[in-house]
Structure 1
């Protein structure tokens, strides 16, 4: 994704990347038929991810949502920079920069999540479909959580050095020491958790009202017709 791409074009590209794997799944426009329960879990996760990333890649997609907002970790020490970082005004500005970087990092997360869904092993698909409202998302997080953080870390490492550093140096008046690598790691980990919370929220909504998807396969699976065969 190039830096010069407009926000609208970036969102279109991300959403297209999420939609294509869903359309490629078998039985997209048909009834359940030979459609497997294991593939149904993947379908549920693909749609949940599509909806979650569509929200997260909007401007302010992380910051404007209490469920996904990233927060600036506490900074210790008695130095000037540490004291400034503990003020609400500075913390708010840096937190907004952190969340802006998360939007770009979510683009890196897209192929990682989709590839993992397509290839993931679902050893007990029926139990997952019968499980709690985020059972499928929980499985996805266990299988891909670490890889997701590693995929987003470079974006945080680069983005914070350009965005947060500009803010901090403007306030402090000089480039003072701060562990950007630790901050980038924290940001990537927080973003990973936020992404799974967002996916889980969408999974819960789909489970609660599968008919709203207008997807015959998901409706049949979540209504229970596939679970009693």
Structure 2
């Protein structure tokens, strides 16, 4: 029972700022309460909060233009390829470049649909040791936990979806042909694996959004959108007010 209670307590702490954390600690019962928040609710509230946060992130990015219309996350040609991109545009092949850029972002948006179950699996596997590490970490400790636990699975899930999207406009073939030739004469070769580049950028975008959600859960009571979350965190908020 002590280990179970410790896990629940640590789990709640990872979603709280310093002031709110102390208030939650003060309001927690030794084990259970009658008519109040018990440890089962606390554990369920944590998992629900993390699930909602990661699902929100995936839903935003998998929506039409989730990547393409996001100025921060839109996937463009890599910096080392900009000279080649400029040359292609100057010789009238700008539409080819535009199609490739659109395909990269559409592939990332489609791939993001597969992120939620991967995050949910990581949430289920969170141990007491994981929770302690997150508790002692910084503002993005939960996001960093997800990076460690899900990057490989996300890459495996994303890559074929992105490769298919790029293949529909022959972007992969054009990229490989153009930059294989370019690399023969360049001192700074470009990665000819376009799918790998887009997959990496798509995963970076997912974790950027997860980080934003983590900050909301830590700092903004309005982000606790269900009755269970309101119950779990309500006592701490009442004390602060």
Do the two structures share a fold, i.e. TM-score over 0.5?
yes
Within the candidate set 191, 200, 203, 2:214 is matched to 203
- How much does 1:38 deviate? 6.0
Q: In the alignment, is the contact (CA less than 8 A) between 1:160 and 1:184 conserved in 2?
A: yes
CA RMSD of superposed structures (Å): 3.8
Q: Secondary structure of 1:153's partner? A: helix
TM-score (norm 1): 0.65
Q: In the alignment, is the contact (CA less than 8 A) between 1:42 and 1:117 conserved in 2?
A: yes
Q: In the alignment, is the contact (CA less than 8 A) between 2:143 and 2:214 conserved in 1?
A: yes
- Range 196-205 or range 216-225, more displaced: 216-225
1:84 corresponds in structure 2 to 88
Deviations 1:4-30 (A, max 9, x none): xxxxxxxxxxxxxxxxxxxxxxxxxx9
2:199 corresponds in structure 1 to 188
Q: Distance in 2 between matches of 1:205 and 1:66?
A: 21
TM-score (norm 2): 0.62
Gaps of 5+ in 2: 1-34, 181-190, 237-241
Q: Distance in 2 between matches of 1:58 and 1:145?
A: 21
Q: Distance in 1 between matches of 2:199 and 2:119?
A: 15
Deviations 1:76-111 (A, max 9, x none): 599x88931798765444222200111111123332
Gaps of 5+ in 1: 1-29, 170-174
Within the candidate set 26, 35, 39, 1:34 is matched to 39
Compare CA radii of gyration and give the structure with the larger one: 2
Higher helix share goes to which structure? 2
Q: In the alignment, is the contact (CA less than 8 A) between 1:94 and 1:167 conserved in 2?
A: no
1:110 corresponds in structure 2 to 116
CA 1:211–1:184 in 2, change beyond 3 Å: closer, same or farther?
Answer: same
